[in-house]
Structure 1
Amino acid sequence: MPAPKKTARRSLLVTSAVLSSLALAAPAAVAAPKPSGSPSASASPSATPPASMSTVGGARLGRPGTQVNLASGVPVLPKDLSARSWIVADAESGDVLAAHNAHWRLAPASTLKMLFADTLLPKFPRDTKHKVVPSDLAGIGPGSSMVGIKEDETYTVHDLWLGVFLQSGNDAVHVLSAMNKGVENTVKEMNEHAEELQALDTHVVSPDGYDAEGQVSSAYDLTLIARSGMQKKDFREYASTVTAKFPGETKKGKKGKTLRKPFEIRNTNRLLAGDVDVPVYQGIAGVKNGNTTNAGATFTGVAERGGKVLLVTVMNPEKSEHNEVYKETARLFDWGFKAAGKVQPVGELVPPRGAAQASAQPGANPSGEAGGSGDGADGTAGTGSKPVAGAPVADGSSGIGTALGITGGVLVLLAGGAFLVNRRWPLPDLVRRRTRP
């Protein structure tokens, strides 16, 4: 289907809290039909990009190969990109600036944890406590990344989400899934949420992203999911946290006293935490990395610079260099910040399916001006959250570009507890990352 008009691309969603589940709303837009050959339990990634893929977000995004509108004044794309699939998008407007096999269904690895978080985060207050029983940790795949959860120990939901985001802990995912009526129910809800987001290339089999037959996503879908997640205060906080203390195992100390000493965990997102061959990326604020046998290395990142907020997803670079997925992501970010405002988009990030229904509700204000905002412990977006860490970047900006948060700003309360923003995402509290001198 053709990409909607520019005004439609400028109208974006904000998330809202609904009593028992996440309800997303956004401005009216033509809902894209579900593509033929949608993922199923028997679907697996193809060896080469199909000749015809989903056209959600625009016809060009369904074509194999690189899609970009190079013209006078537009920088040339990096020449040393080896990823099977990638996308560069404006997080505010939804414009897709460039893409390569955007809808190719590939194994997602732990980037799928973004969908897990976007689905479950609103359900449990962060101070909720849970004592781990053996069944909570059943079914974790061999060789999984773990944060170090122990049976018979008690953890808060806040602890568990730190384990998911920083250490990509499959053990933390399984405990939260157990709290959510089990893995099977969690997978069902994740697939339903992907459908609502119009992430139609995505099929979930395991909530932690562990390799499984039929488990697929795409660079386009992962970018949609990250964009949705970054509207939630808690999601932004966890995604941008570099280090944290995690509860250790209870042990007996001197004189029979029990001790539970915490240990430090560090975010495995190398653009956020840095590594020997990858510096912290200027303006980075998340989101999630992954690596499995089937998926190779995958990564979705969000960064702000000069008042622009970009999302980049890179899937499975062919080069075997250390940290190659982060290096290619950084090069695409660099290109995107130079190209933003100059390059004509090749597609758009679509709003959720509920957008048209929400905007049609009686009382919806098409101007987006209204009364009410939310920023509660349930992780809903709002305007009053504080940055996790702050430091100006080299080209520091003010006003709309003073902190990264994609929080939704002015909200309209609609029937059913949903909120609607009918304009570009405002950015009232961008979370900035400290960069190396």
Structure 2
Amino acid sequence: MKPRLLVTTAMAGLLAVGPIVPASAAPLTPQGPTVSETAAPVLPCPRMPAPKASRLPRATPPPVMAEDRALREPALDTAGLVVPAGAPTPPRVTATSWVVADLDSGQVLGGCGPYEHATPASVQKLLLAATMLPKLDPQQVIRVTAEDMNIEPGSSAVGLVEGGRYKLETVWLGLLLNSGNEAANLIARLGGGEDGVAGGVVAMNEYARHLGALQTHAVTPSGLDAPGQFASAYDLALIARACFDNPDFRRYARTESTKIPAQKAKKARAFQIQNDNRLLYNYPGAIGGKTGFTDLARHTYVGAAERDGRRLVVTLLGAEAQPKNGWEQGAALLDWGFGLPRTAAVGRLVEPGELAERASPEPSPEEAEELNASPAASSPRQAGGVDLFWPLVALAVAATALILVVQFKRRGVGRGR
């Protein structure tokens, strides 16, 4: 893509996210004999009648990059319904997009608009968890700072106090059970090193690309709305799979309640919190997940369950809470998935690092020699040996962010959890 065209698109209010990869990358195709060779025809997604959503407009998604599309599963690259041939019609839901996938095999059992961009709300905390759990010691005692407490007034908080000292494990539970936005800031700050929260968000985006979540771009660690922040149902399944591979996450996600310790120095009493994922209490075999809501994102949900040695995950974006809550819609889709044969699928979840390898193959010795012999100024991204591409990208992103911030301030953004 030429930088001039990218800037033109951004000035129109669109933000391109995700890594730039060669347009020649081979498209990903279903692998193995267990994947259905022929999917059912693309159909409109079954929709459940729902009350009118908030009058706030949905965020304008970034343009679909041809390079990203070349790396998608062809059968899943649709805004409509895709299910295995001969599968029963999935239950009707209010979600604008969803995916059901197998956590162990990686098979995608079906979906509606799997790659469609949407606003994630607090299910983005799963990306924070997948990124930071392997890096941070859960037994470390940390002190809450004023930076950690810098959250939108009235938004979801677990109740940590500035200056309080907590085991990081307690903070993780506050993040995943009660969707604490101050907990998200703290974890991102710790994982971001010298760059603090901003460094944590950079790490989240890098890990999303490593997982192959090309439609995901984080701007806040908590999922509170911000210009340019998106995810997709397919990406959330990738992220959830990484989370459930971590034993600490599995333990936290199944915890029904925990105690937040007193902070005597701050005259703060101990209190108990409960897991707000109702699937745990109402669905046999539930193993955890995450809820989310903002006025802009509407209801978002990720839930997983195990049945007969089979672990499935469901991801939903853009749902309404009426006539059924997000977790109830997720439960219905899990039932549908468990009712399918184990061999039924329409695609698969890519493995971590797989798309990076496909997008950036090692050059052959001949290609490497030719590249080394080429003068620097011959690159279409350069003029006079000076690389102009990334400055132009930065200008495009800044222009887009400014436009969207103005729109958000005019219309208002809902407080999320």
2:315 corresponding residue in structure 1: 313
How far off is 1:204 after superposition? 0.6
**Alignment partner for residue 200 of structure 1, among 214, 228, 232?**
214
1:432 corresponding residue in structure 2: none
| TM-score, reference length from structure 2 | 0.68
Counterpart check, 1:209 vs 2:220: no
2:147 corresponding residue in structure 1: 135
Contact 1:57/1:347, CA 8 A, preserved across alignment: no
Counterpart check, 1:263 vs 2:271: yes
2:264 corresponding residue in structure 1: 250
| Number of aligned positions between the proteins | 305
Counterpart check, 1:4 vs 2:30: yes
2:352 corresponding residue in structure 1: 352
What are the superposed Cα offsets for residues 96-142 of structure 1, whole Å, 9 maximum, x if unpaired?
Answer: 1111000111000110000101111122211111122323323x123
* Paired residues for 1:416-427 under 5 Å: none
2:333 corresponding residue in structure 1: 332
1:158 corresponding residue in structure 2: 169
Which has the greater radius of gyration? 2
Contact 2:158/2:174, CA 8 A, preserved across alignment: yes
* Between 310-319 and 295-304, the greater mean CA deviation after superposition: 310-319
Aligned Cα RMSD in Å?
2.6
Give the secondary structure class of the aligned counterpart of 2:142: strand
What are the superposed Cα offsets for residues 12-61 of structure 1, whole Å, 9 maximum, x if unpaired?
Answer: xxxxxxxxxxxxxxxxxxxxxxxxxxxxxxxx844899899846451121
| Amino-acid identity (%) | 39
2:103 corresponding residue in structure 1: 91
How far off is 1:260 after superposition? 6.0
Residues 143 and 307 of structure 1: is their aligned pair in 2 closer, same or farther, counting only changes over 3 Å? same
Give the distance between the partners of 1:286 and 1:4, measured in 2 at CA: 28
Give the distance between the partners of 1:356 and 1:191, measured in 2 at CA: 14
2:293 corresponding residue in structure 1: 291
| TM-score, reference length from structure 1 | 0.65
1:125 corresponding residue in structure 2: 137
What are the superposed Cα offsets for residues 190-245 of structure 1, whole Å, 9 maximum, x if unpaired?
Answer: 00000100000000100100011110000000110000111111111111111111
Contact 1:89/1:96, CA 8 A, preserved across alignment: yes
Contact 2:299/2:321, CA 8 A, preserved across alignment: no
Give the secondary structure class of the aligned counterpart of 1:288: strand
Contact 1:316/1:325, CA 8 A, preserved across alignment: no
* One-letter amino acid of the structure 1 residue matched with residue 133 of structure 2: L
How far off is 1:90 after superposition? 1.4
* Paired residues for 1:35-434 under 5 Å: 45-46=59-60, 54=69, 56-71=71-86, 74-78=87-91, 80-138=92-150, 140-180=151-191, 181=193, 182-250=196-264, 261-272=269-280, 274=281, 280-318=282-320, 320-321=322-323, 323-341=324-342, 343=344, 345-353=345-353
Give the distance between the partners of 2:154 and 2:71, measured in 1 at CA: 35
Give the distance between the partners of 2:131 and 2:62, measured in 1 at CA: 31
Contact 2:119/2:230, CA 8 A, preserved across alignment: yes
Residues 189 and 47 of structure 1: is their aligned pair in 2 closer, same or farther, counting only changes over 3 Å? closer
Residues 55 and 222 of structure 1: is their aligned pair in 2 closer, same or farther, counting only changes over 3 Å? farther
What are the superposed Cα offsets for residues 297-328 of structure 1, whole Å, 9 maximum, x if unpaired?
Answer: 1111111111211111111224633x521121
* Between 176-185 and 347-356, the greater mean CA deviation after superposition: 347-356
How far off is 1:75 after superposition? 2.9
* One-letter amino acid of the structure 2 residue matched with residue 283 of structure 1: G
How far off is 1:152 after superposition? 1.6
Contact 2:71/2:355, CA 8 A, preserved across alignment: no
Greater helix content:
2
* Between 53-62 and 126-135, the greater mean CA deviation after superposition: 53-62
Contact 2:201/2:220, CA 8 A, preserved across alignment: yes
Contact 1:299/1:313, CA 8 A, preserved across alignment: yes
* One-letter amino acid of the structure 2 residue matched with residue 113 of structure 1: K
Give the distance between the partners of 2:220 and 2:164, measured in 1 at CA: 24
Give the distance between the partners of 1:209 and 1:304, measured in 2 at CA: 27
Contact 2:106/2:348, CA 8 A, preserved across alignment: yes
How far off is 1:93 after superposition? 1.3
Gaps of 5+ in 2: 1-26, 36-57, 358-417
Give the secondary structure class of the aligned counterpart of 1:88: strand
